[in-house]
Amino acid sequence: MSTDASGLSKAIVVVKTNRGTVKFRFYSKDAPNTVKRFAELVQQKFYNGLSFHRVVPGFVVQTGDPKSRNKSDTSVGTGGSGQKLKAEFNGRRHVRGTVAMARSADPDSADSQFYFSLGTYPHLDNNYTIFGQVSDFGEKQDGADVLERIRQGDDLVEMHLE
């Protein structure tokens, strides 16, 4: 996947939510295996129809659990695609718009769940695989962009690559 001078891919991930659309680009050289697997899941339409199951205002917005299709499932937050990824910690920092893989206590437990960072969080750096950066936060409404408006239970309608 070709990149620009900042290390971001020319490919764009378009994330359509019920609150609007967000776009991000990959750090394909910093997390090549994560980017490859994530792009496969996007192309398989794995993420379409999932919910944002973890939202901590001012901190993170998380999705990627297939169990979130059933909003009453009490085990939401524990599911994945079934393929664990080896951690690819890198020199990228958690800043507003960082896209990174969620995981359990095991550094090599990331699967399909990922999050958007809503601020700068150095304590997360080198503990989670950062694999992308938001390039378009979407339309603002009442001063809040799409990520700031997402609430727990909101829908990830569709995701594709451009």
Contacts 24+ apart (CB under 8 A), 76-84: 76/51, 77/53, 77/113, 79/112, 79/113, 80/111, 80/112, 80/113, 81/41, 81/46, 81/111, 81/112, 82/111, 83/37, 83/111, 83/112, 84/108, 84/109, 84/110, 84/111
Query: What's the pLDDT band for 56 if we cut at 50, 70, 90?
Result: very high
How confident is the model at residue 143, as a pLDDT? 95
Query: What's the pLDDT band for 3 if we cut at 50, 70, 90?
Result: confident
% the chain with pLDDT above 70: 100
Cβ(80)–Cβ(66) below 8 Å: yes
pLDDT, average across residues 16-37:
98
pLDDT, average across residues 87-95:
98
How confident is the model at residue 2, as a pLDDT? 85
Q: 119-160 pLDDT, tens per residue? A: 999 999 999 999 999 999 999 999 999 999 999 999 999 999
Give me the chain's average pLDDT, please. Answer: 97
- Pair of tokens at residue 71: 């909003």
Query: What's the pLDDT band for 1 if we cut at 50, 70, 90?
Result: confident
How confident is the model at residue 29, as a pLDDT? 96
How confident is the model at residue 64, as a pLDDT? 98
How confident is the model at residue 5, as a pLDDT? 87
Domains and CATH numbers, the chain: 12-161 (2.40.100.10)
Q: Tokens 């990627």 — which residue?
A: 64
First CA to last CA distance, the chain: 12
> Do the bridges between strand 130-136 and strand 98-101 make them parallel or antiparallel, or are there none, so unpaired?
antiparallel
Per-residue pLDDT for 71 more than 90?
no
Beta strands in 1-154 (DSSP E): 12-17, 20-26, 50-51, 54-56, 60-63, 98-101, 114-117, 130-136
pLDDT, average across residues 96-104:
98
